[in-house]
Amino acid sequence: MTAEPPAEPPPEPRRTESGFPFAPVYGPEDLAGRDQAERLGRPGEYPFTRGIHPTMYTGRPWTMRQYAGFGTAAESNARYRQLIAGGSTGLSVAFDLPTQMGYDSDAPLAAGEVGRVGVAVDSVEDMAELFEGIPLGEVSTSMTINAPAAVLLLLYQLVGEGQGVPPARLTGTVQNDVLKEYIARGTYIFPPQPSLRLVADLFRYCRAEIPRWNTISISGYHMAEAGATPAQEIAFTLADGIAYVRAALAAGLAVDDFAPRLSFFFVARSTLLEEVAKFRAARRIWARVMREEFGARDPRSQRLRFHTQTAGVQLTAQQPEVNLVRVAVQALAAVLGGTQSLHTNSFDEALALPTEKAARLALRTQQVLAHETDVTATVDPFAGSYAVEALTDEVEAAALALMAEVEELGGAVAAIEAGHQKAAIERSAYRIQRETEAGSRTVVGVNRFRLGPAELAAEEPYRPLRVDPAIEARQVGRLARLRAARDGAAVDRALGALRRAAEGRANVLYPMREALAARATVGEVCDALREVWGRHVPAERF
């Protein structure tokens, strides 16, 4: 008699990126005992689970932004003009690393980095060249800048005024989210407390001077790129948002005076269902925090408005054309999740800065979704889905638990100083890397479905965009000419006024604007603040 083969153990359930198991089938029992009508509401109504506007994309699609910036201001200006001509409805500026760190192009620490990962902006003259021929009263501009966000915003204002555009007509966003720099990205300058003071000063300045400007884009994107799970991404981002609200209230602002201008920035991964659930959960949590903790009464203060970028960390250098598929799926997740604006990555970004053709294809991806599919025909098409509603509840519960841990440590700033969020994200990143190396996490073209030697040999060679190394010398020469032509005594007086404001409690943006108008450079302004506030030294904890 033949023995029966031993029964195979049941397969491990597949888990979401946040770590809870997927059910093979979802049904009404997964939502039992939950008041879904109260948790969902209607689109455009509290708690905004189904979207922040009643009509969402049935009225008009999301804003299609393309993040761009490289080399000199003139080169980036040419790319912006191409994007606008191709149908982009918003600009998004990438700055080089020295600018992000508050250094001029001729600083010793800037050597080798000028114009590499974004555009070099050292002065108001560079900003004017960056937007030459682009009417700032008619475009919306997002600037990915954090520690020196106030400096770059004031340069933008000065250029707008030079075009004859009053500040009240300027629209756009500065990222201005320095807390996530301590957690995941590293382009910080000052310690957390003076950085929060600078954020609050920018809030007050914009309320009085640039009222249509979005004063902060509180970012989970960079945490996700560093390895955060979806639950960690929204938990740590919303915890940062709470810290910014508290800082603004401590500065004397009323919640409904500044909260409507807050916005957020998230990633969209290829795990479409969980990403849709993540966006819905984030809206619900933020609405309740703003109404119940901070007493916001204006519905605009309770709405979580957010920009989305597809997941750069999931792009691969191997078989880069496959990234077109990844980006399309990620963009669809963002749209189904209810984003207000979207940047789609170019397929070649794992290799180099995007070529013009790759950037155009990325924009076309959004245009196909908006104009050739039916996802804009109805609001929140996944509402009521057993799977998505259950996932939304699970992501929400996991995020709330993580937010409670941050609160127990004394809030986002205290947790950052203890290295809490950074350590949690590093553990998640390590787990993802181990799963990829072990093969339990499939990455097409990397650990499965790879090309053989003959196929690799037949591949057409890729010609990446290269930044001219002579850019650095040209920027250094441009700075020398600026310093020689300006009134040095006026610059020194303005920087002295800025230092005195930083030592006291006055809003530093007003003397900062005067210094920049006198042709002080980004590095000189940041150095003046470094002299008063010092530099941040991170805590290490794993």
Residue 470 lies in a domain: no
Query: 3-state DSSP call for residue 208?
Result: helix
Residue 91 lies in a domain: yes
Q: What percent of the chain has pLDDT over 70?
A: 96
Number of structural domains, the chain? Answer: 1
pLDDT at 441: 95
Reference 183, options 401, 402, 425; nearest CA is: 425
Distances (CA, A) of 272 to 17, 57, 143, 333, 402: 11, 19, 27, 5, 22
Reference 354, options 343, 362, 364; nearest CA is: 362
According to DSSP, residue 5 is labeled P
pLDDT interval class at 9 (50, 70, 90): low
pLDDT tens per residue across span 368-380: 999 999 999 999 9
CATH number for the domain including 151? 3.20.20.240
User: Bridge-partner residues for 219, per DSSP?
Assistant: 265
Position 442 pLDDT exceeds 80: yes
Residue 467 lies in a domain: no
pLDDT interval class at 393 (50, 70, 90): very high
Residue 12 lies in a domain: no
pLDDT at 112: 92
> Are β-strands 306-310 and 262-268 bridged in parallel, bridged antiparallel, or unpaired?
parallel
Reference 146, options 105, 92, 185; nearest CA is: 185
pLDDT tens per residue across span 156-195: 999 999 999 999 999 999 999 999 999 988 899 999 999 9
pLDDT at 10: 62
Residue 248 lies in a domain: yes
Position 36 pLDDT exceeds 70: yes
Phi, psi of 51 (to 5 degrees): 125, 155
Helix ranges (H only) for 251-342 are 255-258, 272-288, 299-302, 323-336
Residue 40 lies in a domain: no
Q: Which two tokens stand for residue 230?
A: 């979806």
Is the pTM higher than 0.75? The answer reads: yes
Residue 429 lies in a domain: yes
Could you identify the residue written with the tokens 């509603």?
389
- The stretch 270-283 carries a mean pLDDT of 98
- For residue 173, the enclosing domain spans 46-438
- The stretch 92-97 carries a mean pLDDT of 91
pLDDT interval class at 293 (50, 70, 90): very high
Residue 276 lies in a domain: yes
pLDDT at 38: 74
How far the first Cα of the chain sits from its last, in Å, is 57
**Residue 47 preceded by cis peptide, ω within 30:** yes
Q: Which two tokens stand for residue 96?
A: 């080089």
pLDDT tens per residue across span 111-134: 999 998 899 999 999 999 999 999
pLDDT at 448: 95
